Structure 1
Amino acid sequence: MNLPDAFRSLPDLIRDHARTRPDAPALTTGDDVLSYGALDTLMDRVAAALQRDGCAPGGTVALCGAACNAYLVLFLGALRAGLAAVPLAPGSTPEQLAGMVRDCGAGHLFSDAGTTAALAGQPLPPELHRRRFDDDDAPDSWRRWLAPEGSAPQPVALQPEQAFNVIYSSGTTGTPKGIVQPHAMRWGQVRRAATAGYGPDAVTLIATPLYSNTTLVVVVPSIAHGGHVVLMPKFDAAAYLALAERHRATHTMLVPVQYRRLMESPVFDQHDLRSFRFKACTSAPFPAALKAEVLRRWPGGLTEYYGMTEGGGSCILPCHENPDKLHTVGRPAEGHDIRLIDEDGRELPPGPDTVGEVVGRSPSMMTGYHGQPAKTREAEWFDAEGRRYIRTGDVGRFDADGFLILMDRRKDVIISGGFNVYPSDLEAVLREHPAVADVAVVGVPSARWGETPVAFVVLRSGEGDDAGTLRDWANARLGKTQRLADLRLCGTLPRSAIGKVLKRELRDTYGAAPD
């Protein structure tokens, strides 16, 4: 599909597809298939119902639950009414969920049974409309709430600066913050996606949650270009492979832990995956060895994206085109400006030995944190000309070819005896051991050094190495200031729903303070 240069909203693009290809599949969950014509009609009924309930452009609608066709129908219908969608993480605590609903000012909350139960007894605004989207026969079903068949909403002319969605940060380091992303940001992603082979013949398999920006950066372009989105409510490696083969999937977005589970699946090589032409990855560190294995065993290109939900600068690494750069996250995307600053906020000169915090500027930037101007200012950096950048909190450097190498999160850098120790360096060494399946290194308090590194290791199935032997093996290969004070074996590492290791939990569970 040839997109115009001028801004077009996603609801308008869906209308175009419904008029030209009404019977083409748009969304599939299990045996539930929704065509573009049916999707467009349902979006009208959702928008009309929201307007009937008094919702005006600029308001918000909250959604929480597992991925399914109804979830996206409600999300997209809210956009057509001029509202911003607020997808919430079901894994949040009930207190966090209630707090986010209150914070975003949503007039409606659409949820599944699990979220409905979790919110029982939580203080919510009395005027909040609540509906279920996972049971069409329930008394409070969204189907019973819809405007009658044939209903059409009052037209709303969506503007680029209007809020498209509000995505809340994970809250793993404090109270979740609402990240406001405008239509212009999504339009920029849709335009860039044209180079990734999206189009009416594309089939995008989704196995990450819909509340995550990781997922939306693939779902939105897929629909905008008239492709078919196949939703998988809960990831399972064997089921994913069967779905991919059944639907002849061409596109997907997965996080590193999902790629690892697929590579470890005993049935991976039994499936025909030759239909794939675009595989993407983001959200968490993607080890170079795992990238190489995916390239070797899985047909089609592999592209890693580095960026933040807040927007700012992004880097792109087409792994299949740069097999010697798999230790990097790629070069800045076209039109994206990535720079490095020091701890005092001063811009650092370019060079392969320069290490600093990554800041970025691009057309894809959040408006700010919802209702939190002070937090918004903390996330911003301005250059000498007064141009606005978003601070990532990541520490990195550029190599001689302009590829960005990430060192660590700034808050995760271990300062031991006055030296900066980057956990990613230690993790890379431990991953070289054949018994290590997964690893995370954190800094813990030390009376002698201030902080000292401790490793948490998951062993491969059938491996019986003891912690002391593995620690000695690693320390023999690490510099004096990098050596591990302790190594603990564990069954799994705590991760968020999109695969990020929750290092704060590891620090909290580590009781002793080594000397």
Structure 2
Amino acid sequence: MTGTPDTALVPFVSLPDEIRLLARTQGERAALVCDGETVSYAAFDTFVDRCAAALQRDGVAPRDVVAICAQGSIAYAVAFVGALRAGAAVAPLSPTAHPDSLAGMIANAGAGLVFLDAEVQKALAAAAAPPAVRTVRLDTKTGQDAFDSWLAPAGTVPEPVAIQPEWAFNIIYSSGTTGMPKGIVQSHAMRFAYAHRSISRGYGPGAVTLISTPLYSNTTLVSFFPTLGLGGTVVLMPKFDTKRYLELAQQHRATHTMLVPVQYRRLLADPDFDRYDLTSFQSKSCTSAPFAADLKAEVVRRWPGTLTEFYGMTEGGASCELRAEEHPGKLHTVGQPMPGHEMRLIDPEGRELPPGSIGEVVGRSPTMMTGYYGQPDKTAEAEWYDATGERFIRTGDIGRFDEDGFLVLMDRKKDMIISGGFNIYPSDLEQVIVEHPDVIEAAVVGVGSERWGETPVAFVTLREGAALEPPSLMAWANERLGKMQRLAAVVVVDALPRSAIGKVLKRDLREGFGRGLA
């Protein structure tokens, strides 16, 4: 399936140069707000200059890599854009990564300098092979390695760097739920194209974007950089909290936000949600995890402004867009391919499938990754080429297109359960289980079975005060499921394990379940 071509032709300007221009044209406007501190575009540009000059002083050259691993803050934003202004690529890393994994990512990126905080500094020291890199602390204003002390003196201007569109902007590392994380390289051209496409959703000088997801995640960066590059204001929440989110949204008259499904669910479940004035919202977005149709409908009904779901990968390939208000009958889908994006379906042997089939989703677009950093073999595994030699990125997701060209996702390829030779899609089972009035969420995984090879097990969270017992829920669900779909067990948990951006960690559920079932 192909989206309508994107015909907008805008001359490339790098993000640091856009920030420079904004500092001159709207210098007094707030660029960043965090923990009660506000930084104007003029002040932000000055800090970025000092950071870029300090990096150049320390030997960081264009196309080198700088890593950042810390909680979101104004200093984090300065370090990120400062590194870009020096011509370097940035590897934003998760502070929650295992120390050995963190050290491995720094080594893979070839970063010679890491911006971090006290917790990450301690974690790196505990790694099996601590990296021999310079570190700068973003969370303190005192000490030799403190960010403020490390910055070049006020008024310092860096040597100008002519940033090229094809240069690496950032290296985003995958979550690592299936092994060592892979570094996904995205170019300046890709970030520029995405930011300017965001104008259609109201990003610009009047935008106030409330951000509550981590800055190392592409989920966050797709709203963070369009806001800054187009002259809006970013309100940063270092840690998500429902009450604080609603307070900040009302206080700053937020117009835009990108949240993951679990955050939408928690916000709407807050007993005070409807008391807050959220009428300033123009555009709300969601990505990164399955977004239930009933939850989308509730967001549309109770929260002003448009709701857009995006489906895609950090690797690029292609993305789908679902504008919920415009397509109330398609909330079970993830929408249609975006302008300039193309998607196809392939079978396990890599053969393209005809319309109406179920298969693995592959896609191509102007926002495809260059490749996995330093891992050409992994890059090749992620690519698929059609008969004409066009390059596509494999998503690992199984889906089908309906008669109107909307993509219906079945499941992750690696999460599909093969039981007795039959393919079972966990999402089909999860959809049935959450119809029970006492169930909030469900995640189904396949566990080993001597008889079937694999068999489905459901992990569920229940509504407060519910007295539902696992055997009763299993019997209720199995009455509504097909013979080959029936659950072998139900496990009630307080919460489903999730990554920092809300993805359910099904591998943790499988491993935690223990031995297989007969």
TM-score (norm. length: structure 1) = 0.98
- Output one character per residue of 1:162-192: Cα deviation in whole Å (capped at 9) or x when no partner: 0000011111110111111111111111121
Distance 2:38 2:136 in 1: 22
Does the alignment pair 1:146 with 2:151?
yes
Find the residue that maps to 1:187 and give its secondary structure: helix
Question: Which of 238, 246, 251 is the equivalent residue of 2:243?
Answer: 238
Are 1:407 and 2:410 an aligned pair? yes
Aligned to 1:468: 471
Unaligned residue ranges in structure 2 (runs of 5+): 1-7
Aligned to 2:369: 366
Rounded Cα–Cα distance in structure 1 between residues aligned with 2:117 and 2:323: 37
Check if 1:507 corresponds to 2:510. Answer: yes
Q: Which residue of 2 aligns with 1:166?
A: 171
How much has 1:12 moved relative to structure 2? 0.8
Match of 2:448 in 1: 445
In the alignment, what sits opposite 2:58? 53
Q: Does the 8 Å contact 1:414/1:422 carry over to 2? A: yes
* Preserved contact between residue 187 and residue 369 of structure 2 (Cα < 8 Å): yes
1:93 aligns with 2:137: no
Q: Secondary structure at the match of 1:320?
A: coil
**Alpha-carbon offset, residue 65 of structure 1:** 1.1
Structure 1: how far apart are the matches of 2:35 and 2:375? Answer: 40
1:298 corresponds to:
303
Give the CA deviation at 1:121.
Answer: 4.1
Choose the corresponding residue for 1:283, options 270, 285, 288. Answer: 288
Structure-1 residue corresponding to 2:222: 217
Structure 1 distance, partners of 2:213, 2:143, is: 27
Is residue 66–residue 113 contact of structure 2 (8 Å, CA) maintained in 1?
yes
Instruction: Tell me which amino acid in the other structure corresponds to 2:290.
Output: P
Corresponding letter in the other structure for 2:24: R
User: 1:435 maps to which residue?
Assistant: 438
Distance, in Å, in 1 between the alignment partners of 2:254 and 2:395 is: 33
Secondary structure of the corresponding residue to residue 192 of structure 2: helix
1:188 to 171, 179, 193: 193
Secondary structure of the corresponding residue to residue 199 of structure 1? coil
Rounded to whole Å, the distance in 1 between the matches of 2:280 and 2:142 is: 38
CA distance in 2, matches of 1:338, 1:6: 27
Aligned partner (choices 91, 94, 104) of residue 109 of structure 2:
104
How far apart, in 2, do the equivalents of 1:380 and 1:4 lie? Answer: 27
Q: What letter is aligned with 1:461?
A: E
Aligned pairs (5 A) from 1:490-501: 490-501=493-504
Give the AA of the match of 1:344.
E
Asked whether 1:19 is paired with 2:11, we answer no
More RCO (CA 8 Å, sep 6+): 2
SS in 2 for 1:314: strand
State the Cα distance separating 1:428 from its structure 2 match.
Answer: 0.3
Instruction: Give the letter for the 1:394 counterpart.
Output: D
CA-to-partner distance for each residue in 1:7-46, whole Å, 9 max, x for gaps? Answer: 1111111111100011100011011111000111111111
How far, CA to CA, are the matches of 1:191 and 1:32 in structure 2? Answer: 28
Does the Cα contact within 8 Å between 1:101 and 1:124 map onto a contact in 2? no
CA distance in 2, matches of 1:125, 1:306: 35
Match of 2:5 in 1: none
> Per-residue CA shift, 1:411-458, capped at 9, x if unaligned?
111011111100000000011111001110000111111111000011
Task: Provide the aligned C-alpha RMSD in A.
Answer: 1.0
Aligned equivalent of 1:343? 348
1:8 to 2:13 alignment: yes
Shift of 1:4: 7.0
Say if 1:114 and 1:505 are closer, same or farther in 2 by CA, change over 3 A: same
* TM-aligned CA deviation for residue 125 of structure 1: 4.0
Give 1:512 deviation, angstroms: 3.7
1:331, 1:403 within 8 Å by CA — same for their partners in 2? yes
SS in 1 for 2:325: helix
Structure 2 match to 1:137: 142
The 2-side partners of 1:221 and 1:56 are apart by: 26
1:313 aligns with 2:348: no
Which runs of structure 2 are paired with 1:30-45 in the superposition (5 Å)?
30-45=35-50
**1:281-318 deviation per Cα after TM superposition (whole angstroms, max 9, x unaligned):** 00000000110111111011000000001011000001
Contact 1:436–1:460 under 8 Å retained in 2: yes
> What's the CA shift string for 1:268-291, capped at 9, x where partnerless?
111000000100000000000110
Residue 388 (str. 1) matches residue 358 (str. 2): no
Matched position secondary structure for 1:474: helix
Q: Distance in 1 between matches of 2:271 and 2:178?
A: 37
**Counterpart-to-counterpart distance in 2, 1:16 and 1:462:** 56
1:72 corresponds in structure 2 to 77
Q: In 1, distance between residues paired with 2:51 and 2:300? A: 42
Matched-pair contact (CA < 8 Å) for 1:14–1:40:
yes
Secondary structure of the corresponding residue to residue 397 of structure 2: strand
The AA in structure 2 aligned to 1:410 is K
CA distance in 2, matches of 1:392, 1:121: 34
Query: Deviation of residue 139 (structure 1)?
Result: 3.3
Q: Which of 328, 332, 347 does residue 333 from structure 2 map onto? A: 328
CA distance in 2, matches of 1:276, 1:113: 36
Contact 1:281 1:304 in 2 (8 A): yes
Distance, in Å, in 2 between the alignment partners of 1:188 and 1:348 is 30
Contact 2:458–2:489, Cα closer than 8 Å, also in 1: yes
The answer to whether the Cα contact below 8 Å between 2:364 and 2:392 also exists between their aligned partners in 1 is yes
Are 1:260 and 2:261 matched, yes or no?
no
- Whether 2:245 is the aligned partner of 1:247: answer no
Shift of 1:50: 0.6
Asked if structure 2 preserves the Cα contact closer than 8 Å seen for 1:102 and 1:124, the reply is no
Residue identity matched to 2:34: T
Q: For 2:464, what is the secondary structure of its paired residue? A: coil
Q: 1 CA distance for matches of 2:144 and 2:380?
A: 45
Q: Distance in 2 between matches of 1:446 and 1:4?
A: 56
The count of aligned residue pairs is: 510
Structure 1: which amino acid aligns with 2:214? P
Q: Deviations over 1:345-403 (max 9, x none)?
A: 0111122xx10000010000111001000000000001111011100000000000000
